[in-house]
Structure 1
Amino acid sequence: MDDIETESRKSKIRCRDCELRKINASHEAESLAKAPDVVENEAYPEKPKRGRRSIIKDYLIDYTANSNLHGLKYIGEKERTCVEKVFWLFMFTCCVVLCAGLIRKVWIKWNESPVIVSFAEMPTPVWQIPYPAVTVCFETKAMQRKFNFTDYFHLYNNNRDNLSISDRNMFEDLTMVCDDHLAPPNGREFASGVDTVDNIKSVSPNLTEVFFGCKWKDIPSENCSELFSPILTEEGLCYTFNTLGPEEMFRLDNLHHDYPYLEHDKRAQSWSLEEGYAPGSPIETYPHRGAGFGIKAGLTFLLKAKNIDLDYLCRGPVQGFKILLHNPAELPRLSQQYFRSPLSQEVVVAVKPKMMTTSSGLKPYEPTRRQCYFPSERYLQYFKVYTQANCEMECLSNFTYTRCECVHFGMPYGPNMTVCNAGKRKCIKDAQMELVTIAIKTGLNSRDANETYSNNTAISDDDDSFRKALEVSTKCRCLPACTSIEYEAETSQADYDWAALFRAFRLNVSEELSDLSYSRVMVFFKEAQFITSRRSELYGQTDFLANCGGLLGLFMGFSILSVAEIVYFLTLRLCCLLWRRRSKQRRIDFAKRNSMPGPSPSKVIHPYSD
């Protein structure tokens, strides 16, 4: 029985092998009957190619499904209906538009007003800043005993040919410091600056004829020349206290060398406008620093004038003195701003400093955005220290020279420039008004200054001097200095009856003394401390990013990772996807090239496979 069963099993196996051989033979016959390309297609069937739009659509759906931005995933989900997709697309678009509008407002605010002016946290003591420079000018420009301006005015207008050349020149030179309408239009247009200044100084009262006595910090000075020194201004010869020396104020190499503006050799010791007094600098230094508040810590000086020397034609019916408090690094302009000290009056001046500083965080901003210049950002041709007043003085000098071909002797000017005289006085006045008008019209209209002003004036376009003057005015841009000091004066006055004091002491008043008029001026700090103003950033880069990020996060759930995600989908992921597709295609092409005609391995059934 065992042998019969064994034989039966062997016969079944032989039958099965025969069937397998028949099947393989039939497959071989089919493969031989088919073309080689058909065999290859069966071995590596190609998938139908998809369109570019379909690929982009799948890529966008992939992004919306994985993005962390609110609402996008609902747009890309296949289960969502069209109504739902349109709703979320509309909401997402509205959020983007609204967020963009709010960010635009933040940008405008940051771009146009990035600076905020606030008060400093701590008050500044007055000993940390210099005492104000005090400049005094006498209203009488020519002492009557030296040169009677009133008499020569009538002689000149009646018949100037009867006057000698020196008298005519003296009169015309003096009209440069008198009221504008007194200058003769037919007088000399140009003159030597040295001769004009020498003539004016020769008839002006000197220091001993103006000052009777001086006290600094309640200590009388033996001679007022120890405190005050001559200075040449647009008002003629004046006297100044606590002003920087010429080597520290001017660029002497760029100035003419005909005559000096300042006549003292005092030098600043460890002080600069930007840094202030250096740490460890002594109390007694130059420029003098404030030592406290009140009259005892201030400057007191007594001025005098002889009634016989007073002139009521040159500067009008008001007699006395003009006084200006200014920064020690500035050249004073008493023709523009001052307060008066009348004769026989006592004037008490309480000074309130105004100081503006700027944080170093504003240095990367453009000067037009922060509205100030740091010292290294603006170069002045004639001044070493940049202040707004010095810049305006230099600008006026260059503008006047361009319009009139000369300058006023009291302005700083270069060695190759000429000095104006009486015949050009009207041109000097008109140039000053033109400069102010151009600045106003340029500020009111965003167009170019040349176009703006030419359309509103009767000056022809072919006037070369006017076009050059416009070019000069556009280069002015006299913004304030980032560190500036100004001094506000609160004045009060009362009668100064010195003769009554003499009579009270039962002293005799001589005829010489009775002809004198005195004025006393007391200048002092009103308070021991003051509050400094400070420019600082209103919106820095961090604040701007924080505001934009808050708006984007509120409306869209946007963050820095969202930016990285967008960059990733547009660059790295896209590149990797394309690389994978090309790599797969290269493998398929390689397999096609190396495949031979014959049965496909996938079609062959192994006899012992399940």
Structure 2
Amino acid sequence: MARTINAEENAQREKKSNGFVAHIKDYCSNCTLAGFAYMANSRLHFTERIFWLICVIVSSLGCYHLIIEYQRSFPSRAVSIVYESLPPFSKWQFPSVSVCEVAHKGKLFHTMEEFIKGLGIDVAGGYPYEVESGIASILFPVLYNENALKGKCGIAPTECPGPCADCPAKDYRKILKWYGANCSDLFVECKLSGDPFDCCRYFRPLLTPYGRCYMLNSLQNNEPGSKHWLPNQLDPADRKAVITMVTQMEIQVNLMNAEDIPHTAFAPPGILAITPGLGKYMQFNQVIMTNDPDVREVDSKIRSCLFPDENPPTSVYKAYSFSVCITECIRELQMKMCNCTAFMYNPNADKRFPDCDLDGYFCLEKTRAIKPDSRVLLSNNKRNNESCGCLPSCNDGDIYTIYEPNIMTRTGNKYFNVTLDMPFLPTDQYRRQAIRSRLDVVVSMGGMLGLFLGASILSAIEFIYYFTMRPLNNMLRERSATERTNRIQLQERE
């Protein structure tokens, strides 16, 4: 009895095996792939069938090798940047401008000085310059020197002829807002191409790693077409690309791309105006970067850049740029070290990143994380614990100084004057173009498969059909035939 059962099981296995082999043979005989029909043709001599098997194997290996080489070369050949000429008399587009407050030679805005006086006096009974220097290093990051904050604010004096001044313990964001200079305190006059415009309407405030700045046409606190966006496209036939700013305080003026922010780690072209009554002048040139629409279809790691609207959802900024990425990397480093961040690295007071109090700043100073610019820049894309992995912006154009005279002009007033001039009509631009888009990948790989194996989209559908629908249909057909045979046999017995 046992032998009978084993024989039946072996017969069933053999039947299934023969059925699978027959199914494979049926696929090879009827598929559209080149050479497979010859291998499955039992009427041919076995040497011919082996010959075609070798041909199919060699063709498959060749196709595999070409596809692998194509994938390896894709990142280096998917995108290219060309330098091309512009049509004559193209319109000029003035770049974004940042105007940042600076504290020079211990001079702060008068309301800030009144606030510091209200904190107390020093041991000599005078103005607490040490406290002022400590507060200035927090409110004006460009003034900070390594390990200087502990010496200014770490030890509070006790033997004063009156109440001893000490650095505020917290609320630096509010202190800057309440006692610092606002836009109307800073600007006197602004002109573009000789036409005056409302400074405070178009220069929008923004906290940056450099300090508090006022940004003209920045994607970080504005957007094209809004009421605060200054029309900056100029026709060279009747307008000059010259902007003039007059302020009541010392300023640092920089030119940058619309998605960038001022940062202590970078030195974009600009002017430092710290002498009242003197006019500073600079000439510059700009080469913009344009992108073909197909560039967006290429993965960011392959094109090695990110568009401003490809900002991560966790970002506190509105647009992506390399300077923004470095800023957020530093903020993450500060959070990791001290569980708080310098408020200049968090422009919108995001609760996810609490502002540091004085003890938090001492922690940042101890870990050298208040302004770790060089450390972060050198570690970028190094794949270590402090690596940022920041990519440049795809719209990152080239702005550079071409002339900045050492002789400054006297204006006859106490104001600070800055003039930025682009004297020459731009004649060239960079253009990033996609050499290999998604369509190119499909066409190239389809061509390889078609050349070596005669494959197509229908071949893939055919393969799926033969190993899904075809076996199911055969099984249902066999079951139906078996049931029909059983019914006939039953009827004959009756």
| 1:418 partner SS | coil
| 1:92-148 Cα shifts (integer Å, max 9, x gaps) | 1221222123233445556x57952556999588757454214255572424999xx
| 1:531 partner SS | strand
| 1:523 partner SS | strand
Q: Tell me, yes or no, if the aligned pair for 2:247 and 2:416 is still in contact at 8 Å.
A: yes
Counterpart of 1:430? 369
Q: CA deviation at 1:287?
A: 1.9
Amino acid at match of 1:523: D
Amino acid at match of 2:266: Q
Q: Call closer, same or farther: CA 1:574–1:200 in 2, change over 3 Å.
A: closer
**Alignment of 1:193 onto 2:172:** yes
Counterpart of 2:229? 286
Q: Whole-Å Cα distance in 2 between the matches of residues 69 and 224 of structure 1?
A: 71
Amino acid at match of 1:297: A
**Alignment of 1:216 onto 2:192:** yes
Q: Tell me, yes or no, if the aligned pair for 1:348 and 1:522 is still in contact at 8 Å.
A: yes
Q: Tell me, yes or no, if the aligned pair for 1:383 and 1:390 is still in contact at 8 Å.
A: yes
| 1:185 partner SS | helix
Amino acid at match of 2:133: F
Counterpart of 1:104? 68
**Alignment of 1:400 onto 2:313:** no
1:311-350 alignment runs, 5 A limit: 322-327=252-257, 330-334=260-264, 336-339=266-269, 341=271, 347-350=281-284
Counterpart of 1:298? 242
Amino acid at match of 1:443: N
1:22-421 alignment runs, 5 A limit: 52=15, 53-107=17-71, 116-118=79-81, 123=86, 127=91, 129=93, 131-135=95-99, 140-143=104-107, 161-162=123-124, 166-176=128-138, 177=140, 178-181=143-146, 183-188=148-153, 190-193=169-172, 197=176, 201=180, 207=186, 215-219=191-195, 234-235=209-210, 240=214, 242-243=216-217, 249=220, 271-272=223-224, 277=225, 286-293=229-236, 296-300=240-244, 322-327=252-257, 330-334=260-264, 336-339=266-269, 341=271, 347-357=281-291, 359=293, 362=296, 371-372=305-306, 375=309, 378-379=312-313, 382-408=316-342, 410-411=344-345, 412=347, 413-414=349-350, 417-420=355-358
Q: CA deviation at 1:69?
A: 2.7
Counterpart of 1:494? 405
Q: CA deviation at 1:555?
A: 1.2
Q: Tell me, yes or no, if the aligned pair for 2:94 and 2:234 is still in contact at 8 Å.
A: no
Q: Whole-Å Cα distance in 1 between the matches of residues 174 and 460 of structure 2?
A: 74
Q: CA deviation at 1:352?
A: 0.4
The RMSD of aligned alpha carbons is 5.3
Q: CA deviation at 1:487?
A: 5.4
Q: CA deviation at 1:180?
A: 0.6
Counterpart of 1:25? none
| 1:344-382 Cα shifts (integer Å, max 9, x gaps) | 88643223042444637846x766566425637633564
Q: Tell me, yes or no, if the aligned pair for 2:84 and 2:428 is still in contact at 8 Å.
A: no
More relative contact order in 1 or in 2 (CA 8 Å, sep 6+)?
A: 1
Counterpart of 1:524? 422
Indicate the percent of aligned positions where both proteins have the same amino acid.
17
Q: Whole-Å Cα distance in 1 between the matches of residues 149 and 12 of structure 2?
A: 98
Q: CA deviation at 1:477?
A: 6.5
| 1:559-608 Cα shifts (integer Å, max 9, x gaps) | 334334434443454445445555554555445444479xxxxxxxxxxx
Counterpart of 1:444? 382
Q: Tell me, yes or no, if the aligned pair for 2:97 and 2:256 is still in contact at 8 Å.
A: yes
Counterpart of 1:604? none
Q: CA deviation at 1:479?
A: 4.9
Q: Tell me, yes or no, if the aligned pair for 1:322 and 1:341 is still in contact at 8 Å.
A: yes
Q: Whole-Å Cα distance in 1 between the matches of residues 251 and 463 of structure 2?
A: 74
Q: Whole-Å Cα distance in 2 between the matches of residues 81 and 432 of structure 1?
A: 79
Q: Call closer, same or farther: CA 1:185–1:571 in 2, change over 3 Å.
A: closer
Q: Tell me, yes or no, if the aligned pair for 2:281 and 2:408 is still in contact at 8 Å.
A: no
Structure 2 gaps of 5+ residues are: 1-10, 114-121, 155-168
Q: CA deviation at 1:337?
A: 1.7
Q: Call closer, same or farther: CA 1:49–1:127 in 2, change over 3 Å.
A: closer
Q: Tell me, yes or no, if the aligned pair for 1:290 and 1:297 is still in contact at 8 Å.
A: no
Q: Whole-Å Cα distance in 1 between the matches of residues 475 and 259 of structure 2?
A: 70
Q: Whole-Å Cα distance in 2 between the matches of residues 179 and 567 of structure 1?
A: 67
Q: Tell me, yes or no, if the aligned pair for 1:404 and 1:427 is still in contact at 8 Å.
A: no
Q: Call closer, same or farther: CA 1:492–1:200 in 2, change over 3 Å.
A: farther
Q: Whole-Å Cα distance in 2 between the matches of residues 585 and 192 of structure 1?
A: 86
Q: Call closer, same or farther: CA 1:139–1:527 in 2, change over 3 Å.
A: farther
Q: CA deviation at 1:547?
A: 1.9
Q: Call closer, same or farther: CA 1:497–1:589 in 2, change over 3 Å.
A: closer
**Alignment of 1:559 onto 2:493:** no
Q: Whole-Å Cα distance in 1 between the matches of residues 96 and 459 of structure 2?
A: 58
Q: Call closer, same or farther: CA 1:214–1:64 in 2, change over 3 Å.
A: closer
| 1:420-460 Cα shifts (integer Å, max 9, x gaps) | 488567347435438954x8657334xxxxxx43xxxxxxx
Q: Call closer, same or farther: CA 1:323–1:361 in 2, change over 3 Å.
A: closer
| 1:306-349 Cα shifts (integer Å, max 9, x gaps) | xxxxxxxxxxxxxx974311245654225532446477886432
Amino acid at match of 2:460: V
Q: Whole-Å Cα distance in 2 between the matches of residues 129 and 539 of structure 1?
A: 30
Amino acid at match of 1:242: L
Q: CA deviation at 1:553?
A: 1.7
| 2:79 partner SS | strand
Q: How many residues align?
A: 445
Q: Tell me, yes or no, if the aligned pair for 2:252 and 2:270 is still in contact at 8 Å.
A: yes
Q: Whole-Å Cα distance in 2 between the matches of residues 358 and 90 of structure 1?
A: 45
Q: Call closer, same or farther: CA 1:349–1:401 in 2, change over 3 Å.
A: farther
Q: Call closer, same or farther: CA 1:433–1:191 in 2, change over 3 Å.
A: same
TM-score, scaled to structure 1: 0.56
**Alignment of 1:539 onto 2:437:** yes
Q: Tell me, yes or no, if the aligned pair for 2:309 and 2:319 is still in contact at 8 Å.
A: yes
Please say which of residues 190-199 and 167-176 is displaced more in the overlay: 190-199
Counterpart of 2:161? none
Amino acid at match of 1:286: W
Q: Call closer, same or farther: CA 1:555–1:135 in 2, change over 3 Å.
A: same
Q: Whole-Å Cα distance in 1 between the matches of residues 202 and 491 of structure 2?
A: 107
Q: Call closer, same or farther: CA 1:426–1:361 in 2, change over 3 Å.
A: closer
Amino acid at match of 2:323: A
| 1:88 partner SS | helix
Structure 1 gaps of 5+ residues are: 1-47, 150-159, 251-267, 306-319, 446-451, 454-469, 503-512, 598-610
Amino acid at match of 1:566: F
Q: Tell me, yes or no, if the aligned pair for 2:99 and 2:215 is still in contact at 8 Å.
A: yes
| 1:182-217 Cα shifts (integer Å, max 9, x gaps) | 725344364441686489958xxx748xx8x86531
Q: Whole-Å Cα distance in 1 between the matches of residues 245 and 207 of structure 2?
A: 20
